[in-house]
């Protein structure tokens, strides 16, 4: 360090630990944070605006899709009905005076009415009317058809009728005021009109056989437009090509921020994106989405003012939280520093008793604070501490290895991966009931494995756990394994170490039954009482083992991961765990005959 800073250096080194900690907290917390706070306002504002606009864009796109879906549903109803054989039969004839002259069978008419009634069951559809030309008065005077067929004369007072009569278009999405009072009050305030022309008329363009009108409610659209953006001044509304308001999420805001088509094209030149504009003296974020095949546009407007206010509120809240945090941090640092200093001084006094002992020294540092004194004293204790650390490290490594092996024996990741792979294939094969069964079994299996953080569980739960394991294996391998359990009821409530049976059954399946040519077999788990002990016998009819392998399976040098007989880590740890818990007379014992099978007995004290 430069000599000019030497006084400062020594001054700081000689300060007490608590004062150093207090000064460090003040410098590290206060000064950088003040600098960051100055820069945060713009970043927070941009973040709030970006996040809000992104969420609003996603919601608006979803809303546009929903409105498109609703209008398409209405159009599809009209298209299906207009292509019905019965209406096509009507359109084939230019004029008739009686129903008999139409040569239309009642079967076709009944089929058509069945289709109409099915569409009327749709909650979106409020009504369907077919306004017929005068030659078909017999149809709309037939009271048996629920007023579906009506005279075209009833449309004369509606605005949409005037549009259709002066326009060559064959379809029209109608705004509320396009409809007559009769239609709005009795049917719906929105409609989709389709002209059906005479197909055999000499002047086909001028000859209208009927108008097919499907009525629905603007409430369905308003419901789709209403969603919570988190902003108090935000509105969605729909206008048509004639600048008529179709539906809105808020009537007052829709009127306040209403844009006609000319203003919309000028202010929002691109669709499906938000732009920042100023209208009525306020900054707004606006977007538009085209509703397909309707001539309608969805307008979304969000006021920029509340967004800026929210950014300021977040910054102010942050400043208040930060101020109190700094005060608390300084108080805690002072308290902790004083506490640490006093404790170090106490340790120093106790360690001074070892000054006569020769120890390895560490590099001494300048300064007369508590840490400097601690280093001086620590030099006399280093050898003993290092020796203790080495011993503890060796013991910790042994414990860590033992814990790792125990954990490895408890949960086999390959079993989980293979089971999830099976569930995936069941899902791809649309075997939903089997997927449900597999997921429930796997969930219950791991709930029993990992629950309660206890080392002991009842025999009943352990049997359920191993049964679920066999069930999942059977689902993977076409029920190749028969699992038979015969345990007396009086032993079911006894407690045994968790995961006692599963490693044994797993070895019986993987290294016994699945080694057979047909990969099928039987596992039997029985139990009985002997004095104050329980004995469980797990037998299988797998390939068995020779005497040497059988004798070494519960030994440290028994077969491991890469041997011909697979892994014995699970059963080895289970055996050791039982001996550690209950004594050397308890644990596992193996007997096996090559080609016939293997028996494993498990002896455990009987505790309720």
pLDDT tens readout for residues 457-496: 899 999 998 998 899 888 888 889 999 999 999 999 999 9
3-state DSSP: the chain helix, strand, coil percent, rounded to 5? Answer: 55, 20, 25
Strand duo 208-216 + 125-132: pairing: antiparallel
**Which tens digits make up the pLDDT trace of 424-454?**
766 776 777 778 877 887 777 777 776 655 6
| Structural tokens at position 411 | 């949960």
Residues 127, 186 contacting (CB under 8 angstroms): yes
Alpha helices in 205-245 (DSSP H): 218-225
Q: How many distinct helices (H) and strands (E) make up the chain? A: 20, 17
Window from 187-196, 267-276, 372-381 with minimum mean pLDDT: 372-381
Distance CA(370)–CA(361), nearest Å, equals: 18
Out of 20-34, 493-507, 526-540, pick the least confident: 20-34
Per-residue model confidence (pLDDT) at position 491: 92
Kindly list the domain boundaries of the chain, sorted by start residue: 221-306, 412-605
pLDDT, tens only, 128-186: 999 888 777 666 666 556 578 888 888 887 889 888 888 888 899 999 989 988 888 88
* Fold of the domain built from segment(s) 412-605: Heat Shock Protein 90 (3.30.565)
Average pLDDT over residues 587-595: 92
Is pLDDT of 191 > 90?
A: yes
CATH fit for domain 221-306, picks 3.40.50, 1.10.1060, 3.30.450, 3.30.70: 3.30.450
pLDDT above 70 for 289: yes
74 HSE (CA, 13 A, CB side): 32
Cβ pair 16, 344 in contact under 8 A: no
For the entire predicted model, the pTM comes to 0.48
User: Which residue, 142, 150, 76, 146, is CA-closest to 114?
Assistant: 146
The pLDDT score that the predictor gives to residue 202 is 54
* Three-state DSSP class for residue 592: strand
What is the C-alpha to C-alpha distance for residues 138 and 134, in angstroms, rounded to an integer?
9
The alpha carbon of 595 is separated from its chain's Cα centroid by a whole number of angstroms, namely 50
CA dihedral 158, 164, 170, 172 (to 10 degrees): -50
> Over 90: is that where the pLDDT of 548 sits?
no
Q: Distance between the two ends of the chain, CA-based, in angstroms?
A: 72
> How many Cβ atoms are within 10 Å of 499's Cβ, its own excluded?
23
Q: Give the side-chain half-sphere CA count within 13 A for 290.
A: 11
- Top pLDDT among 355 and 50 is at 50
Nearest in space to 533 (alpha carbons), one of 583, 570, 575? 583
Beta bridge mates, 171: 194
């Amino acid at each position: 360090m430069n000599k000019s800073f030497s006084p400062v250096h020594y001054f700081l080194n000689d300060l007490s630990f608590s004062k150093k900690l207090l000064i460090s907290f003040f410098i590290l917390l206060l000064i950088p944070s003040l600098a960051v706070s100055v820069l945060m306002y713009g970043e927070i504002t941009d973040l709030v605006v970006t996040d809000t606009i992104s969420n609003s864009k996603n919601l608006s796109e979803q809303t546009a899709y929903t409105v498109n879906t609703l209008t398409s549903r209405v159009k599809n109803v009209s298209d299906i009905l207009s292509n019905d054989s019965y209406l096509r039969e009507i359109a084939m004839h230019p004029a008739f005076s009686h129903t008999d002259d139409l040569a239309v069978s009642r079967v076709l008419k009944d089929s058509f009415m069945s289709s109409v009634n099915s569409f009327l069951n749709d909650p979106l559809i409020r009504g369907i009317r077919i306004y017929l030309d005068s030659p078909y008065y017999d149809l709309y005077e037939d009271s048996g058809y629920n007023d579906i067929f009506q005279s075209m004369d009833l449309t004369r007072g509606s605005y949409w009728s005037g549009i259709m009569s002066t326009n060559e278009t064959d379809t029209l999405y109608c705004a509320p005021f396009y409809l007559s009072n009769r239609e709005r009050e009795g049917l719906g305030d929105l409609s989709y009109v389709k002209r059906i022309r005479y197909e055999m008329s000499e002047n086909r363009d001028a000859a209208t056989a009927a108008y097919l009108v499907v009525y629905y409610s603007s409430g369905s659209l308003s419901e789709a437009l209403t969603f919570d953006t988190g902003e108090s001044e935000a509105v969605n509304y729909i206008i048509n090509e004639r600048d008529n308001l179709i539906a809105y999420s808020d009537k007052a805001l829709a009127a306040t921020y209403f844009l006609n088509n000319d203003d919309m094209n000028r202010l929002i030149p691109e669709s499906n994106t938000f732009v920042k504009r100023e209208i009525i003296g306020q900054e707004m974020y606006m977007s538009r989405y085209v509703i397909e095949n309707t001539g309608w546009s969805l307008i979304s407007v969000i006021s920029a003012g509340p967004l800026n206010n929210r950014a300021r509120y977040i910054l102010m809240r942050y400043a208040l939280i930060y101020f109190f945090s700094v005060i608390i941090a300084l108080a805690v640092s002072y308290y902790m520093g004083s506490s640490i200093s006093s404790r170090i001084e106490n340790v120093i006094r106790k360690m001074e008793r070892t000054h006569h002992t020769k120890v390895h020294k560490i590099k001494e540092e300048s300064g007369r604070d508590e840490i400097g004194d601690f280093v001086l004293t620590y030099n006399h204790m280093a050898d003993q501490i290092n020796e203790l650390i080495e011993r503890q490290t060796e013991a910790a490594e042994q414990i860590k290895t033992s814990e790792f092996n125990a954990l490895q024996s408890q949960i086999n990741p390959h079993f989980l991966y293979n089971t999830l792979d099976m569930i995936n294939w069941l899902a791809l094969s649309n075997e939903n009931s089997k997927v449900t069964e597999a997921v429930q079994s796997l969930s219950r299996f791991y709930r029993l494995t990992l629950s309660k953080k206890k080392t002991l569980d009842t025999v009943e739960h352990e049997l359920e756990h191993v049964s679920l394991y066999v069930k999942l294996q059977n689902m993977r391998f076409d029920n190749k394994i028969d699992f038979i359990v015969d345990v007396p009821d009086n032993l079911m409530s006894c407690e045994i170490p968790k995961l006692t049976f599963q490693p044994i059954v797993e070895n019986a399946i993987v290294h016994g039954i699945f080694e057979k040519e047909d990969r099928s077999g039987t596992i039997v788990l029985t139990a009985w009482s002997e004095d104050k002990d329980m004995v469980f016998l797990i037998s299988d009819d797998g390939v068995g083992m020779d005497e040497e392998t059988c004798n070494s399976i519960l030994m440290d040098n028994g077969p491991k991961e890469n041997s011909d007989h697979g892994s014995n880590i699970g059963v080895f740890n289970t055996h050791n765990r039982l001996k550690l818990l209950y004594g050397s007379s308890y644990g596992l014992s193996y007997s096996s005959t090559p080609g016939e099978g293997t028996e494993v007995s498990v002896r455990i004290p009987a505790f309720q």
